Structure 1
C-alpha cells in the first residue's frame, strides 16, 4: 500500500470538479478491503469547476453487439441519454472513483505519447485514433499531449456530435487566449490545437479505415478506453476490432486500452459463491456458465452506482494476446489499476491532487465528515491515522490522508490496462503480411 508523506496544508472547499485536467473521468489479484490505497498526509485542494470539465472516468456503457438490429437499439439508447450537470456529478457516490480512473487514463496516455516521441524525429507529426471516444472525455489529454491529428469515432452518433462540439470549444478557447501557449499560465490553455475528424461507426462491424479522410494515414497511437471488452461477444467482433486498431498503426506504434480484468472478476465470483456479487457501488450478475465460461460471449450485467446496467463480456487475455499477433500487435505491458497506481503515485502525485483523484479523510466540512462516518467505509484511513498518532478526529491540521472508500476501491480495481505495439510488417509472395 503506497503512502506519501507531505507537510503542507492546503485549503479546501466543497468537492468540485478540477478546472482543466479533464473529466473527473490505464491483473488478476485485486487489493482486498484491507489494502485500500492511502496517499499523501494533507488536505487535497478542491478546485473550482469549469464548463471545460470532461466526464469520462467511469466505464463506458456502450454495448457493441454483432446483431445489427440490436446494435441500432443500443446506439439509440445511449444517444438519448442526457448529460449530467457538473454539480450533479460532483455529488455522485463515485465522484472520486471516476476521478481516480481518469487519473489512470491520463498517466497511461501520457506515458505512451512520451514513448512515441522518444523514438521520433523532432517535428514528426503525431496522429492518434480515439476508438469509442464517447463524448470526448479525453480531448484535453490529446491537446495537452500536443498531438497533430485526431480521429474520433464511436457507435453513438449523438456522442460523436458532442465530442465534436467539445473540440470546437477547445479551438475557440485557444484562440481566445491568444494561441494558448503551454506556458502562458492561463487557465484552460491547452497548447497547440490539433486537427480532428469525427464519425459514427461500429468498430466491431465496420472497417474504420474506409471512413478516414485519408485512408493512407499512418497512426502513432490508437486508444480504446473502457470499451474494448464489448467486442468479446464473438470471435468475429474481436477480430474486427483488432483489425481496426492495427490496420493503420505504423511500425512501433501502440494500441492502448482499459478493460475489466476477467481473472479478477472470476476470482470475486468464486469467492462470493454466487452469480451475483458486488457492493454498494457496483454489482455484477453473470448470464453465462461460470464454471466454464466461454472464450467469447461470457456475458454478465454490470451496474455502477445504480445507473449503468448493461451486458458486458469477459476478455480472456491469453486469447486476446494470440488474436492480436494475427494483426501484428505484440503485447508489451499490462497491469491492474492497483499495480499501476503503486507504480505511478510518486510521479503522478501532483496530478492526483489537481484531478481530485482521492478523497480527503477526515473531510474538511462537518457534512463531509458525517457522510464519511455514515458510510462506514474509511476504517482503513482511520487506522492509518491512529497509527500515526493523529487520532483522526480532525485535530492536527496536517493529519489528513487521501483515499477512496472501500467500495470505490473495490470497483476501480476490477480494471486493468494493456498496451500492444505494432510489429515490423513485410509481405510474402501472395500478398499476405508477415510480422516480426
Structure 2
C-alpha cells in the first residue's frame, strides 16, 4: 500500500499490552500441535528456493501498479483518508518499537519505499535494507531514496540498500549487506548464538503471502529470527484473522438457516407436487410403490421445485463495500463453520482495494502464527486492530499531533476517514514481537 512521507520526529512510546492472552513457552515437540509435519523438519532458512506458487502473480500485480505520486494521492484518490490512516498506524508502530539510539532496519516487502520517510522521521537510522520480490518496485524504491538524499543535501540521511528478494522462498543471509551486519542462522531455533545485527525487522502488508504453505511461513520466520539481535523487534500490519473468522461463522450460520427453512417447507411442497392424500397412510405398500414410480419419472422429466433449490450451489463467501472486498473462491470448499482454520496454511482468498490491490492472499490464523513464532523465539508483546490503535493513540501528546500532520484529522480535530474507509481499515491489525 502506497505510503506518504512526513517530516516528523515522534519519540518512543511504551507498548500497551497485547489483546491476546499470555502464552506459555512451549515444551519440546509442541510444534506438532500446529501441523502434522514431521518433528525433524528444520526451521533453518533453506538454500534451495521453494516453488514460487502464487508469488509470480503477486509480483506481476505489484510491478504493474503505477506510481501516481503524492500529489495525486492527496488530491484525487478515492481512498485518501484510508491511505493516511494506514500510514499513521505504521508511524505509530515504528515510533513505539524503534530503539532510542541508532538502529539497523530490515524491511521485508518494502515495495516502492513508501515507508522510507517514516524511518527517516522516527529515529536516527544507521542502516536500512529493503527487500521485495517485485523488481519494478525495488527500482522505484531506489529512485525515491535518491530523491530523499538530494533533498537532504549536506544534512544527509541514513544509508539504504535495496535488493530483489523473495524472503518467503529462500534465505536472505546470502545478501552481503545482511551477512555483514549479522545473520545468525545457526541459533534460530535453539536460542543460542549471538543473534543477528538488526534492531527491527518490519513486514507491512505482506506477511499473509507466506501462509500459502508451511514451508514458506517457516522460511519467513527463519529469516526474521536470524536477522534480529536478541531484544530486537519484529513489527508489522496484516489482515486480522479474527475478522475473517467472524465473517465465516456468520456465513455458515446463514447457510444453516437457509437449509432449515428448506427442510421446514419441504413436506408441504412434496404433498402438492406428488398429490399425496391421507389414504396413502392406510395403503403403505401401494403408496410406496406409487411414490417410487413418480420419483423416478420426476428425476428425468419434471424436476421438483425443491430439487432445483437444493442443487443450487451456495452463494460465495464475500463481503466489503464499494472501496474494498474480500471473497473466497467459489471453486473451493468454504472455510469450516467453526471459523477455525485447520490446517493453518493455504486458505486462499481474493482481496480487492480500489486504486491499490487486486491479488490473492492467504489467511494468517493468528494463534497458529503466534505459536509458530514462539518456535523461533519471537514473543508477542503488542497486537491491536487499526480501530483500537486510533482510539488509544489519537490523544497521545506525540501521535495525536502527528495525525493532523498526516491528515488523518483536520486542524480542528475532525476525523477525515469516512465510514466506508474505516470499514476497510477494520480488516487489519498491527503487531509487534520481541526476539528472546
Taking structure 1 as the reference length, the TM-score comes to: 0.66
How far apart in 1 are the matches of 2:105 and 2:401?
A: 26
Say if 1:419 and 1:86 are closer, same or farther in 2 by CA, change over 3 A.
closer
Structure 1 unaligned spans of 5+: 1-16, 30-64, 118-123, 180-191, 361-397, 424-436
CA shift at 1:73, angstroms?
Answer: 4.7
| Residue among 201, 204, 210 paired with 2:174 | 210
CA shift at 1:108, angstroms?
Answer: 0.7
CA shift at 1:275, angstroms?
Answer: 0.1
Per the alignment, residue 37 of structure 2 pairs with none
Per the alignment, residue 401 of structure 1 pairs with 414
Larger displacement relative to structure 2 (291-300 or 252-261): 291-300
Counting only pairs closer than 5 Å after superposition, residues 295-334 of structure 1 correspond to structure 2 as 295-305=344-354, 308-334=357-383
Taking structure 2 as the reference length, the TM-score comes to: 0.66
Say if 1:106 and 1:226 are closer, same or farther in 2 by CA, change over 3 A.
same
Per the alignment, residue 87 of structure 2 pairs with 102
SS of corresponding position for 1:210: coil
How far apart in 2 are the matches of 1:248 and 1:88?
A: 36
SS of corresponding position for 1:297: coil
Deviations 1:271-292 (A, max 9, x none): 3545011111111111352225
Contact 1:281 1:408 in 2 (8 A): yes
Does structure 1 residue 20 correspond to structure 2 residue 44?
A: no
Per the alignment, residue 91 of structure 1 pairs with 76
Does structure 1 residue 137 correspond to structure 2 residue 186?
A: no
Structure 2 unaligned spans of 5+: 9-14, 21-48, 182-196, 255-315
Counting only pairs closer than 5 Å after superposition, residues 29-44 of structure 1 correspond to structure 2 as none
CA shift at 1:86, angstroms?
Answer: 3.6
CA shift at 1:316, angstroms?
Answer: 0.8
Say if 1:162 and 1:403 are closer, same or farther in 2 by CA, change over 3 A.
closer
Deviations 1:87-139 (A, max 9, x none): 432322211011011000001101111xx22xxxxxx6411101100000110
CA shift at 1:304, angstroms?
Answer: 0.9
Deviations 1:307-366 (A, max 9, x none): 522111111111111111221111111111111111111122211111111469xxxxxx
Structure number, greater radius of gyration:
2
What root-mean-square deviation, in Å, do the aligned CA atoms of Structure 1 and Structure 2 show? 2.6
Say if 1:193 and 1:222 are closer, same or farther in 2 by CA, change over 3 A.
same
CA shift at 1:153, angstroms?
Answer: 0.4
Contact 1:269 1:276 in 2 (8 A): no
Say if 1:259 and 1:67 are closer, same or farther in 2 by CA, change over 3 A.
same
CA shift at 1:421, angstroms?
Answer: 0.5
Deviations 1:386-431 (A, max 9, x none): xxxxxxxxxxxx7x832421111111011101111111xxxxxxxx
Say if 1:270 and 1:214 are closer, same or farther in 2 by CA, change over 3 A.
closer
Contact 1:332 1:421 in 2 (8 A): yes
Contact 2:201 2:233 in 1 (8 A): yes
How far apart in 2 are the matches of 1:158 and 1:297?
A: 27
Contact 2:105 2:198 in 1 (8 A): yes
Counting only pairs closer than 5 Å after superposition, residues 32-181 of structure 1 correspond to structure 2 as 67-68=51-52, 70-89=54-73, 90-113=75-98, 116-117=99-100, 125-144=102-121, 145-175=123-153, 178-179=154-155
Structure holding more helix per residue? 2
Runs of 4+ deviating beyond 6 Å: 26-29
Say if 1:69 and 1:416 are closer, same or farther in 2 by CA, change over 3 A.
closer
How far apart in 2 are the matches of 1:312 and 1:28?
A: 24
CA shift at 1:300, angstroms?
Answer: 0.7
Contact 1:221 1:254 in 2 (8 A): yes
Does structure 1 residue 247 correspond to structure 2 residue 226?
A: yes
Aligned residues: 309
Does structure 1 residue 354 correspond to structure 2 residue 331?
A: no
How far apart in 1 are the matches of 2:433 and 2:91?
A: 18
Per the alignment, residue 210 of structure 2 pairs with 231
Per the alignment, residue 427 of structure 1 pairs with none
